[in-house]
Structure 1
Amino acid sequence: MQKIIVPKKKGEDGYKVTSVRLPEELLDRLNRFTARTELSRNEVIITLLSQALDIAEIKETQD
């Protein structure tokens, strides 16, 4: 009997697709950094962003 393959709908893996605009120099830095790892650019972005959000603070403006 032949199998019927049903593709998984995008986004059902717990990830959502987003796009960002990066300065060319920052993208170059990211690509060079990623090339030194065994990770995908997506994995590097998730790792760095997760850690940055853990240590980031919002500075209240003074009126």
Structure 2
Amino acid sequence: MSDSSPNPLKIRVRGEDGFRVTTIRISEELLRCLDKLSAKTRHSRNELINIMLEYAVGNIVIEQTSKRPGEESKPF
């Protein structure tokens, strides 16, 4: 093996790309819906979930169950 190659093949160690693997439990119906969206959009299920999560995190409003007078719901 020679180190003199002008264009070496660079491979990152898995897990060092800023992403982490996680596991979630979802209903079979929701999984079917994701699979239909995946087929329709030609995005992988993983891509769709990431798109949806990024949108949700940026647009979530947390409602307080016991509001004080004059207090409004605020974005996250």
The alignment's TM-score, normalised by the length of structure 2, stands at: 0.67
Distance 1:57 1:9, change over 3 A: same
Q: 1:59 aligns with which of 56, 59, 63?
A: 63
Stretches of structure 2 lacking an aligned partner (at least 5 in a row): 4-8, 68-76
**What are the ranges of 5 or more consecutive residues in structure 1 without an aligned counterpart?**
none
1:16 aligns with 2:52: no
Report the secondary structure of 1:36's partner residue: helix
Instruction: Name segments (4+ residues, structure 1) moved above 4 Å.
Output: none
Higher strand share: 2
- The CA distance in 1 between the partners of 2:65 and 2:2, in whole Å, is 64
Percent identity over the alignment is: 39
The two structures have a TM-score, normalised by structure 1, of: 0.79
**For 1:29 and 1:37, how far apart are their aligned partners in 2?**
12
When the two chains are superposed, the root-mean-square deviation of aligned CA atoms in Å is: 2.3
Larger radius of gyration: 2
**Distance apart, 1:48 and its partner CA:** 1.0
